[in-house]
Chain A
Amino acid sequence: MFDPTTSLLTLKNVGLNRGGRWLVRGVDLSVHRGESVTLIGPNGAGKSTTAKIALGLLAPDEGQAAQAPGLKVGYVPQELSIDWTLPLTVRRFMSLTNRLSDADLRDALNMVGIGELCDVEVRYLSGGEFQRALLARAIARNPDVLVLDEPVQGVDFSGEIALYELIGEIRRTLGCGILMISHDLHVVMADTDCVVCMNGHVCCQGPPRIVAENPEYLALFGARAAGALAVYEHAHDHTHLPDGTVRPAEGTLTESCRTDNGHHGHDQNNDLAGHAR
């Protein structure tokens, strides 16, 4: 539906100010069809805020946020509580924002491993089950872009791996773009094309491969970690040069994860202090 060269979600030098404090600033980001972009960073880094700006839920105070026209979004928010006054089964919840055939509904629920919970009331689901239902609902919409804010929170360890693999599989079969937030530095996807490390601004962004193939990284985490789960460690692996480019430990020079867009976050911020750790 969309030209793979045009961006589904685009942020250009975006900033959001609340009460005189910049929650995020100078964020450049784009998600293309079939591309997976993962935001990582500590609490309060502005990951969810960035996702909400990209979704059009928050209007940026500076910079531009754009969505491809007619874009179909599947959104898994960080927090969604169902009021107990709402009689809502998983089945009805799945068709919250669009009609769904029974087969599509079953498929999506089976994919996330809760096919048997179809007629259970949502408020009786456990945290992990509800998280799976949220993901199934977003997938079942057959979206152009999935925005997943900590999609596996509360899911058990084996389920976590399965769900991450499912997300990667969906990207390949559906061909949708994915913007994902992972709160946790320990679990970052092997499958992601671009990792954006945030802390109020973009600290650094690039393909995890650069890091995963890094000999120091392999020495630190072992070769197996590069398989199903890649761990992206950003702290000491690269150097910021005065001109704003990044020199990873392996010695190559990179400007960003994509050569055709964006530049390094520090071009706007000139903030070297963010990397002091």
Chain B
Amino acid sequence: MIKIMTWLAMLDDFFVRALVAGIGVAVVAGPLGCLIVWRRLAYFGDTLSHSALLGVALALLLQVNITAAVFVVSALVALSLLLLQQRASLSSDSLLGLLAHSSLALGLVALAFLPTVRVDLMGFLFGDILAVSLIDIVVIYIGGAAVLLVLVFVWRSLFAATVNYEVAEAEGMKPARANMVFMFLMATVIAISMKVVGVLLITALLIIPAATARRVASGPEAMALTAIMLGIIAVVAGLFGSLEWDTPSGPSIVVAALILFLLALLPVAVIIRRRKPSEGI
């Protein structure tokens, strides 16, 4: 604790930046994570984040912006999944496995072609939030704000399509368009959160706060907001924990989220929920 106090007193710039970046990511990850949980798309999130490494490799090869390259590659993987689902005679989970691991392998192979560039692979796999720059923060907040704005706009049709595609379609909610938008939002979130938690742990940051929120929220919108709050708590707790015990920051955030999930399993959470059965629309 004393160590944390001294850190607080100093409030090193890089640590403030890490907090600001992490909170920005948590805010966007909350509602999208809920949609992933509701739609049973956890493995889809995993596939997109695995393909992010291919984006990193291509960005280094072509010397373009890493976040932009990750977004493009994730979006392409999402689109190719849609195409493969329509044509191939494989089940979705096999297709996802194929896309996830082949893009990961392609990324690792591509990185090997960069002998002159020393790549910090661990940084990409597990995140390097303490090295977040001001530009990274700007990217996270502009990208995150765009995601949230679009999400608010398509929320009703996206949620209706989540409950029942045919009812949404019959009643003019254009669920196909909403699903396409959702794919791009996912690609954006993966691109902007990669630096914070790393390729391997993005899905955890999406899913665990949402799963925890499910225990205490009684409406979809309430669950999304709760997931945001829990994500912020996990980021803050995880970062301070990583300072205190000198642990890697990305995994520490995920561990903090896991602890929150376990706390929500306690009977206390159920009692809170019973006490307020009604939620506004």
Write the residues of chain A forming the contact surface with B, with a CB cutoff of 8 angstroms.
52, 55-57, 72-75, 77, 80, 82-83, 85-89, 91-93, 95-98, 100, 119, 121, 141, 147
Whether B167 and A88, one on each chain, are in contact in the complex, defined by CB atoms closer than 8 angstroms, is: no
A161 to chain B, nearest CB (A): 26
Q: A95 — nearest CB in chain B belongs to which residue?
A: B281
B278 located at the interface, meaning its Cβ lies under 8 Å from any Cβ of chain A in the complex: yes
Given A83-B38, A85-B38, A119-B278, check contact A97 B167 (CB 8 Å).
Answer: yes
Q: Is the interface of B mostly helix, strand, loop or mixed?
A: helix
Whether B159 and A56, one on each chain, are in contact in the complex, defined by CB atoms closer than 8 angstroms, is: no
Among the stretches B24-32, B131-139, B211-219, B252-260, the one at the interface with A is: B211-219
Whether B171 and A74, one on each chain, are in contact in the complex, defined by CB atoms closer than 8 angstroms, is: yes
Q: Give which listed residue, B164, B221, B223, contacts A77 with CB less than 8 A.
A: B164
B177 located at the interface, meaning its Cβ lies under 8 Å from any Cβ of chain A in the complex: no
Given A77-B166, A96-B160, check contact A87 B173 (CB 8 Å).
Answer: no
14 contacts between A and B (CB under 8 A): A55-B166, A55-B169, A72-B172, A75-B166, A75-B167, A75-B171, A77-B164, A86-B38, A86-B163, A88-B163, A93-B163, A96-B160, A119-B277, A147-B170
B3 located at the interface, meaning its Cβ lies under 8 Å from any Cβ of chain A in the complex: no
Given A77-B167, A92-B220, A96-B167, check contact A86 B162 (CB 8 Å).
Answer: yes
Closest 7 CB pairs of A and B: A75-B170, A119-B278, A97-B171, A55-B170, A96-B160, A97-B160, A80-B164
Write the residues of chain B forming the contact surface with A, with a CB cutoff of 8 angstroms.
37-38, 40, 156-157, 159-160, 162-164, 166-173, 214, 217-223, 277-279, 281
> Across the interface, which residues of A come within 8 angstroms of B159, CB to CB?
96
> Across the interface, which residues of A come within 8 angstroms of B166, CB to CB?
52, 55, 57, 75, 77
15 further contact pairs, Cβ within 8 A, besides A74-B171, A82-B163, A86-B38: A55-B166, A55-B170, A72-B172, A75-B170, A77-B166, A83-B38, A85-B40, A85-B214, A86-B163, A87-B214, A87-B219, A88-B163, A89-B219, A95-B281, A98-B171
> Across the interface, which residues of B come within 8 angstroms of A88, CB to CB?
163, 219-220
Whether B218 and A87, one on each chain, are in contact in the complex, defined by CB atoms closer than 8 angstroms, is: yes
A156 to chain B, nearest CB (A): 24
Whether A121 and B218, one on each chain, are in contact in the complex, defined by CB atoms closer than 8 angstroms, is: yes
Q: How far is the CA of A57 from the CA of B162 in the complex (A)?
A: 16
> Across the interface, which residues of A come within 8 angstroms of B223, CB to CB?
87
> Across the interface, which residues of B come within 8 angstroms of A55, CB to CB?
166, 169-170
Q: How far is the CA of A57 from the CA of B164 in the complex (A)?
A: 12
Whether B169 and A56, one on each chain, are in contact in the complex, defined by CB atoms closer than 8 angstroms, is: yes
A122 to chain B, nearest CB (A): 9
Q: How far is the CA of A88 from the CA of B277 in the complex (A)?
A: 11
> Across the interface, which residues of A come within 8 angstroms of B281, CB to CB?
91-92, 95, 100
Given A85-B214, A87-B214, A119-B278, check contact A56 B220 (CB 8 Å).
Answer: no
Q: How far is the CA of A119 from the CA of B159 in the complex (A)?
A: 19
Whether A87 and B172, one on each chain, are in contact in the complex, defined by CB atoms closer than 8 angstroms, is: no
Whether A87 and B170, one on each chain, are in contact in the complex, defined by CB atoms closer than 8 angstroms, is: no
A57 to chain B, nearest CB (A): 5
Whether A57 and B170, one on each chain, are in contact in the complex, defined by CB atoms closer than 8 angstroms, is: yes
> Across the interface, which residues of A come within 8 angstroms of B157, CB to CB?
97
